[in-house]
Structure 1
Amino acid sequence: MTYEVNRARSIIDAHSHLDQYDGTVRKMIIDYLESPTSELTDVISISMNLPSSIHNLKLSESHKGIHSAFGFHPEQNAPSESELQELISFMELNKNKMVAIGEVGLPYYLKESNIDLPLEPYIEALEVFIRKASDWNKPIVLHSIYEDAVTTCDFLERHSVKKAHFHWFKGSVSTLERMIENGYFISVTPDCVYEQEIQSLIELYPIEQMMIETDGPWPFTGPFENQVTHPKMMHQSIATIAYIKKMDLNDVYEQIYGNTKTFYNL
């Protein structure tokens, strides 16, 4: 599905792993961001672990439009107690330089490939990050899908965290309804152009609680087959949202842009 786009309207990439790109491609995206004629105004660069957080901090300190989030991606071996503490100490030291805690969550795909995976270290780490989001009054970026989102919602509610961003979310209608009622945000990737599951999510979720992302350098298929993931792909996401929501295209640009600016205090 492809629809009319408006590349003159401003966009924000609400979830990119900018530090994970090949250096040449990363420079291309940064040059695109910093071009005076670019419609891309900001990128939220999400971290995988402590080295990734350090890299993203340097990127955000060097480039005005890059904003870093620090965290530990759950689709890898769980952090040891000392690794977690070292990361938390770094985050504490630099909490005024991060726009959010993230990416954090639970290892859905890792668990699928290893049914004997011990989950307790991941659950404990997630609650630590959610508690810090509450203590520091920071938004939190979540990798938490399907049944894992129920556990995550339990922790968010327990610690009274309101500013939660479930990126590339997939889950049951009952979980969606709970997230909507709690005011949590979602973001959709360019796969919304061709994935029915994500299109159904867009139909159900309020646009007032929606953002767009690339999750780059993660690759996409459909019309983006064999392309390097780039923020300009998000124009197709906006057009798809407008089509599904039966809204004016420019109104969708304005709403999504405003949502992201407000959520991340940009």
Structure 2
Amino acid sequence: MIDFHCHLDLYPDPQDMAIAVQHSGIGLLSVTTTPSAWPGTSRLAHQRPAIRTALGLHPQLAHERKNELHLFDKYLSETRFVGEIGLDGSPALRHARNDQLQVFEHILAACNRAGGRILSIHSRGAASAVLDCLERYDPSNIPVFHWFSGTVTELKRAIDNDSWFSVGPAMLAGAKGRNLVAKIPQNRVLLETDGPFAKSRNSPLNPWDIALARQELTQVWNLDEDRVTRILTENEKAILR
């Protein structure tokens, strides 16, 4: 199984965590929050085939780091994964709305020019705006909504636009998250932890805690664990094909 959204470089000891991931038997998509973090974070995956690194610029940092877009363009050819990117509609970030849009649009255009990338997308409080942006570009990019928290109407729109969704233990811990996941086609679901930000019992989630999300899916989908594992494995193969 693969953790499709984890901040490997933000654990207390990223090198030790990278070693543990490689030995754990799982895969990991290590997302970044700024382009300047790319060189150091991508080195964590060196000679560790279980780890892949995504190039990102987090929407919460867009107004502070938009001057790093030239670095995004520089490093984009080194990876087929982009994230964490997107928009954040939190009231505290209303002042940065234009900067977020500028950064997100730049990234989408760059990815299209590069032939398309797998995108790990943040959309808190901004799912409709994210979808508006995605629909302005050709479908060469593959959007994966990380921890989707929009409305059922927005979810349906994302599904109709061939989006994927990465879900983790934190999302599946609440009724809203479980209800949303139940409405996602099973063949569009991937696992994530969002560690070390997301927590379980007040402790940061580790990449191998995707097993907790798999266990929750057995209840949401009313399927046994072997069947859930087969579905998730086929989904991973499909998106990476």
TM-score by length of 1: 0.83
Residue equivalent to 1:259: 235
* Map 1:1-266 → 2, pairs under 5 A: 11-23=1-13, 26-35=14-23, 38-40=24-26, 42-79=27-64, 82-91=67-76, 95=77, 97-109=78-90, 112-115=91-94, 117-136=95-114, 137-146=116-125, 148-161=126-139, 162-220=141-199, 224-265=200-241
Residue equivalent to 1:6: none
Asked if 2 retains the 8 angstrom alpha-carbon contact of 1:69 and 1:101, the reply is yes
Asked if 1 retains the 8 angstrom alpha-carbon contact of 2:87 and 2:129, the reply is no
- Report % sequence identity: 23
Distance 1:173 1:248 in 2: 26
Asked if 2 retains the 8 angstrom alpha-carbon contact of 1:100 and 1:264, the reply is no
Deviations 1:56-112 (A, max 9, x none): 221223321110110101112515654222332232xxx2x3131111111333xx2
Q: Secondary structure at the match of 2:63?
A: coil
Distance 1:52 1:17 in 2: 11
Q: Given residue 104 of structure 2, which amino acid in structure 1 is its aligned partner?
A: L
1:212/1:156 CA distance change after superposition, 3 Å: same
C-alpha displacement at 1:53, in angstroms? 1.5
Asked if 1 retains the 8 angstrom alpha-carbon contact of 2:36 and 2:71, the reply is no
Q: Given residue 240 of structure 1, which amino acid in structure 2 is its aligned partner?
A: E
Give the paired residue count: 239
Distance 2:62 2:112 in 1: 25
Asked if 2 retains the 8 angstrom alpha-carbon contact of 1:103 and 1:143, the reply is yes
1:75/1:249 CA distance change after superposition, 3 Å: same
1:114/1:208 CA distance change after superposition, 3 Å: closer
Q: Secondary structure at the match of 1:118?
A: helix
CA RMSD of aligned residues (A): 1.9
Q: Given residue 32 of structure 1, which amino acid in structure 2 is its aligned partner?
A: A
C-alpha displacement at 1:204, in angstroms? 0.6
- Structure possessing the higher relative contact order (Cα contacts under 8 Å, 6 or more residues apart): 1
Q: Secondary structure at the match of 1:52?
A: helix
Distance 1:175 1:100 in 2: 24
